[in-house]
Structure 1
Amino acid sequence: MSDDAPFADSVFGLGDLPAIELSILSRVGGRDYNEDACGHWHSEQYLCCVVADGAGGHGGGDVAARLAVRHIIEQASAAPLHAPDEVHDLLLDTNASVLSHRDDDPAQKDMHSTVVALFIDLSSGTALWGHAGDSRLYLFRGGQMLAHTRDHSVVQSLVEAGLLSPDQMRTHPQRSELLSALGTPTEHLKVSTASRPWVLREGDVFLLCTDGLWEHVDEAEMSASLARSNDPADWLARLEQSVLTHARSTGKPRHDNFSGIAVWVGNPMA
């Protein structure tokens, strides 16, 4: 992705489902190169969005992230998904694809990538999602955040054990330590999916993003900026400014790459 304005696109729903709009943003941040990757595909009936955050050094992490995005989109476009176990199987297959490319180049031998993916069936008006690592999917309805995915990370495990509050995750010294990501041997890989299809209605908003974004923008600011935004591209631009402002205020000129895809189902304040 270039450092231009957020890319925007529109997907028109079928039947009673309102128009779906999306926008994509990916920035290098304070790093020398961007190891994040984003992509989407849609037909008249289906929409697939993917965000990935690579790790493993230049020539490794960025490759893993691009491989993950490409593989998920290729497979979802060839055989659209309709059930949580299909999402789970696709993430396992994507992991196998990343592992299979480690021998392509010595620089790729340790490559990993987080991933989060959203799959919308426009004809049934339902959504599925899945993830590995600490790239997140946030779900908003009527302008309020309902939930977000739970990271496969050290700090998330500390939160679940009652040893850390959710607010402390963003500043904890172990916040970047993952318990799972693509590129992990299958027997150790952890992936999570939506437990059942989510029935869409007008006002639903999804944000898929890497930790370089959510680490600097808390849920309250996400909701507040959503209420002030005219469209998904405007919202991502506001989130970008929040990331940059917070990074400057905390003295982090070398802050991480940050990326996101915003998907709006009609009016987010409906």
Structure 2
Amino acid sequence: MALEQLSALKYGKKTDLSAKLMNIHTKLRRYAAVHSGHANMQTTLCALAVDEDERAFAVNVGDSRMYRCRGGCIRQLSTDQSLVQMLYEQGRITADEKKTHAQKNVIFPVLGNASEEPQPCITEIIGGVQRGDIIIICSDGLSDYITQGEFEEILALPMRLPRRIAKLAEAAIKNGSPDNVSVVGVSMV
């Protein structure tokens, strides 16, 4: 439902993305209220938005991630909305501790949350997107189980992008991901 709503959005530089995401949140809550089997329907969301001036934005609610691979180097573009990310930013834990922290799965309110409204994070991407870039959007079931080196090595393989994306998912599963592994890739042409 969230992806259907987002894909129907006519995006431009005057679009209030935060308001649009909150509208999706409201629709999810209304749907859940009248469909008892979906009472706890919630979702993270991560998306790339590019306006008519070619300014690019990482749009994020929750802990799904966006990466850009440029010139063989992978860089995270989104910021997790999670307890461990907050602790890391406060200097209370290290990057390595984020991966094993007892509360690593605690994320801030996501779309559809009944008790608190989400706070969408919309960040302009420094350096934008360029021809040759690969944008990866994935769940934590992938990002938590792939090293930066594995990311870069797999994305550099001489094969079509869909096969490289499948190899990323296969690597996460091989590395022991117990979570859902969702990943999509876009090659900027």
TM tier, smaller: 0.7 to 0.9
**1:68 aligned to 2:25?**
no
Give the equivalent residue in structure 1 for 2:11.
Answer: 80
Q: After TM superposition, give the deviation of residue 212 of structure 1 in Å.
A: 1.0
Give the residue type in structure 1 aligned to 2:180.
N
- 227-236 or 149-158: bigger deviation: 227-236
**1:233 aligned to 2:162?**
yes
Q: After TM superposition, give the deviation of residue 244 of structure 1 in Å.
A: 1.7
Q: Which has the higher strand share?
A: 1
Q: After TM superposition, give the deviation of residue 91 of structure 1 in Å.
A: 1.2
The partner residue of 2:89 within 143, 149, 160 is 160
Q: Matches of 1:93 and 1:117 in 2, distance apart?
A: 16
CA gap of 1:214–1:112, structure 2 versus 1, over 3 A, is same
Asked if structure 2 preserves the Cα contact closer than 8 Å seen for 1:140 and 1:206, the reply is yes
Give the residue type in structure 2 aligned to 1:184.
N
The partner residue of 1:111 within 36, 41, 53 is 41
CA gap of 1:126–1:198, structure 2 versus 1, over 3 A, is farther
Q: Give structure 2 stretches of 5+ with no counterpart.
A: none
Asked if structure 2 preserves the Cα contact closer than 8 Å seen for 1:143 and 1:203, the reply is no
Render the CA deviation track for 1:166-203: whole Å, top value 9, x for unaligned.
23323322111111211236964211012368643222
Q: Matches of 2:115 and 2:56 in 1, distance apart?
A: 26
Give the equivalent residue in structure 2 for 1:173.
Answer: 102
Give the residue type in structure 2 aligned to 1:183.
G
More contact order relative to length (CA 8 Å, sep ≥ 6): 1
Q: Matches of 2:31 and 2:144 in 1, distance apart?
A: 30
Asked if structure 2 preserves the Cα contact closer than 8 Å seen for 1:92 and 1:186, the reply is no
Give the residue type in structure 1 aligned to 2:90.
A
Q: Give structure 1 stretches of 5+ with no counterpart.
A: 1-66
Give SS of 1:113's match. Answer: coil
- 162-171 or 214-223: bigger deviation: 162-171
| TM norm structure 1 | 0.63
Render the CA deviation track for 1:78-135: whole Å, top value 9, x for unaligned.
x22335x6222221111111111111222222221111112335x6544333110001
Give the % identical residues: 24
Give SS of 1:193's match. Answer: strand
The root-mean-square deviation of aligned C-alpha atoms, in Å, is 2.3
Give the residue type in structure 2 aligned to 1:194.
T
The partner residue of 2:30 within 89, 100, 103 is 100
Give the equivalent residue in structure 1 for 2:121.
Answer: 192
Asked if structure 1 preserves the Cα contact closer than 8 Å seen for 2:65 and 2:77, the reply is yes
> Mapping of 1:117-266 within 5 angstroms?
117-121=47-51, 124-184=53-113, 188-195=117-124, 199-247=128-176, 255-266=178-189
Q: Matches of 1:166 and 1:231 in 2, distance apart?
A: 32
